Amino acid sequence: MTAAARITAVGTASPPTSYTQAELLELFGIEDPRIRSVFLNSAIERRHLTLPPRGDDGAFRLEEQGELLAKHKRQAVEMGARAIESCLGGTGAGLADIGYLCAVSTTGFLTPGLSAHLIRELGLDPACSRLDVTGMGCNAGLNALNAVAGWARANPGRLAVMVCTEACSAAYVFDGTMRTSVVNSLFGDGAAAIAVTAGPEGPREADAPAAPQLLKFASHIITDAVDAMRYDWDDDQGRFSFYLDPEVPYVVGANAESVIDRLLAGTGLRRSDVAHWLVHSGGKKVIDSVMVNLGLTAHDVRHTTGVLRDHGNLSSGSFLFSYQRLLAEGVARPGEYGVLMTMGPGSTIETALVRW
């Protein structure tokens, strides 16, 4: 019988600088009332960002695409390394124990991939197996976790680590339009890492959180909305640019029920049997739409809204920041079920069922 994979630890990292929405409006001298309203009604209080350098006139300078890619590489490696070290701290495992590293990022492009840079940065075993997941956006963390769980099950007792590291400030375009302003009002920089192993759970301290088993994954791509969320080349700007269709919250919400029903099918569980919901902090309207369509309460998504309030949308690692907050509460009990849920370009919805 194949042993189930378990999430045994989580760690996060953010850049040192953070700003309130009002501070960002002031720093960039944004006076347009429509854009100010988008920023100030986002349900976001503060985000960690690395702002552009200032030009000779003291104003923020528009970064060229090469500078943005260099920012992504620098930030992704630095934050990713800190998140991995934070994840392993206190687990009894060290960097030398990592047998598999899965690196997730969409806010820039690297060849060789981020995993190779992290292996060099952290001095990991050069024989470490690795995978890079890119181009999947905010839902990539669960796509990657499915692969990580598979490797862990095939290699019981060995340590796999997944790190989601997104330098969203390396994906910004500033042109004063509503299209870019919606994106610029939402995303923040951050990284999150989790450790996964398969096999019997080892002894734990009495106050240590339990390690939930990864039981099942379910995916859904909304093919009619493939272009509704995308990060691609903008000829007018000469840069990569992220686009969010205003209909995204409603498209995601309308399809949330079917994928959750598929996730729970054959398990004997109903939605009301799920004690913990860890939903991607995609934005206020996205969270509201998912709540309505799944019949969730504000308490169910308290960590999701808390991460949005304190960090903004962190793309692929958002749901792991919420998972870390749930563990810190110490309320998850053995035998309880949880659902992890992310949404992203495609448009897609990814889900996972866990049991503590």
Clarify whether 87 is annotated catalytic.
no
Give the gyration radius of the chain's Cα atoms.
20
The one catalytic residue in 87, 102, 138, 168 is 138
Show which residues are catalytic: 138
